[in-house]
Chain A
Amino acid sequence: MTDTEKYWNPILETLPQEKLRQLQLKKFQGIFKWAYDNSPFYHNLYRDAGIEPGDIKTLDDIRKVPKVKKADLRAIQGKEPYPYGSILAVPLEQVTEYRQTSGTTGQPVYHPETWQDWEWSAESWAYILYAHTFRDYDRVYLPFGYSMFIAFWAGHYAAEKIGCEVVPGGVLDTEARLLKIRELKATALMATPTYVLGMADTARNKLGIDPAKDLNVRKISVAGEPGGSIPATRKRMEEAWGAKVYDSAGATEIGHWGYECEAQCGLHTNDAFHLVEIEDIETGETITEPGRKGSMIVSTFDRLAHPCIRFDSKDVIEWSPIEKCECGRTFRLLHGGIIGRADDIKKVKGVLLAPGAIEEVVRAIPQLGDEYEIEVTKKGDTDNITLRVELLPEHEAKIDAVREDLVRELRLTTGLRYDLEFRKYGTLPRYDTKAKRFKDLRK
């Protein structure tokens, strides 16, 4: 295979590390100056912090730049220039696209894009889908609602850019989408892990279709939740569809910043479009070595209307010990994808609990369904964790053995004790996009 067949941009994706860092510094300086000169919000933030464009001379200098939180973005919006407020760095008439965040963590953040920004989003996604082996001979089905939430919008345009034939699933329900996938012999999908599993469940139980045997989908690009990098969840998706599943990660405010390659040994950070930093959640210390988890701070290059500079994403990640990926890309690697959200990783009974660890246990037990729910409550001074799962109908007689397995694996993986509730199959909530399976009711 030649390098042009393997990479979307063989020059950029295999740049020596020191050249990449040089490029990132130049790009950071560019977007910092743009925001300083054009966005009143950023100008005031940096003026108050006593930092100017000329002060950023090295990558280390970037750490002096104040971080921005989602709460800051929410506080700005709703004011002039309406509705984006003082962060807007272009004249309002240059905004051609409105999108917003999913609202999973509160009031959605409004996101403006110029035509160039929109093109940028598709371009950064093209790197991802090409690494996920999407090619011009693929017929790509997108089973999402095409609403204001950014979701897979840029993925749609990236697939077009690559030359794929793109089929928008739009407002069809899950059954109609599956029938269309079968009718058109779609070869590729983009969806959240939750929906990939949910579609397979509907196919088997409502339509009598086995996606692995009866459909032609052989590659699936997932995003929106950590599941794509959770081995047990990935295994379930791959077995259900008979397809290769590739993970990627992004957010409305920052674009799609990370992706797996064919080697699948972690997420590559999209270093040509973003600068990813990791900070200790408690101390804020910068983490540069592998094996230490921290919160992701991300800066987006070349995106003009709504610059996102040192955004505290709350995604928990860690650098990989692998220095050179076998795919040949030099973009840095993360170990295990997104481990969770800093907001979701709670201290329960004095122990840090990541919901992803529970998902890994639940989905590794074949007698259990895909859905689960975690609820943390307080009884007196004691934290209590309830885990609700569904036993597959054909395994109902094995409930005691499954309970025993679950208790043991949860204790080994998380070191915690749970109240287990077995629910009738099909009764826990199902989700089309981002799932809300973790509920902390202690407040």
Chain B
Amino acid sequence: MTSKNINMKKIAQKIASLKQEANEIKAMSGGIQAVDRNIDRILAGIKMLEINISDLVEILPDK
């Protein structure tokens, strides 16, 4: 496995979709803590994906 040929823009789009899905689930939860708190943890993980991938898309437009 190598990172050479990955499509960062596409991965970043998927990360954005994940984030949107997670926020939508939270909005639909009716305040069920078992949903909201687990979504918060998922969103924290998604933020790490943004740091590792999405934040780089702007400075690496060709990748």
A: which residues have CB within 8 A of B?
2-5, 9-12, 15, 19, 22-23, 26-27, 114-116, 118-120, 123, 272-273, 302
Contact = CB atoms under 8 A, between A and B. Distances in A.
B1 to A, nearest CB: 5
A123 B59 contact: no
Contacts of A5: 1
Contacts of A4: 1-3
28 contacts: A2-B2, A3-B2, A4-B2, A10-B2, A10-B3, A11-B3, A11-B6, A11-B52, A11-B53, A11-B56, A11-B63, A12-B52, A15-B56, A15-B59, A22-B59, A23-B56, A23-B59, A26-B58, A114-B44, A115-B41, A116-B43, A116-B44, A119-B44, A119-B48, A120-B47, A120-B51, A123-B48, A302-B47
A11 B1 CA distance: 13
B40 interface: yes
B14 to A, nearest CB: 16
Given A19-B59, A119-B44, A119-B48, 19 more contacts: A3-B3, A4-B1, A4-B3, A9-B52, A11-B3, A11-B8, A11-B53, A11-B56, A12-B52, A23-B59, A27-B55, A115-B41, A116-B47, A119-B45, A119-B47, A123-B52, A272-B51, A302-B47, A302-B51
B51 A123 contact: yes
Nearest to B49: A123
B40 A2 contact: no
Majority secondary structure of chain B interface residues (helix, strand, loop or mixed) = helix
Contact of A26 (B59, B60, B63): B59
A136 to B, nearest CB: 14
Contacts of A12: 52, 56
Interface residues on B, range: 20 to 34
A19 B48 CA distance: 19
A19 B40 contact: no
A22 B61 CA distance: 13
Interface string B22-63: 000000000000000000110111011001110110111001
A298 to B, nearest CB: 17
B44 to A, nearest CB: 4
A11, A12, A15: most-surrounded residue (chain B CB, <10 A): A11
B55 A19 contact: no
Nearest to A7: B3
A53 to B, nearest CB: 18
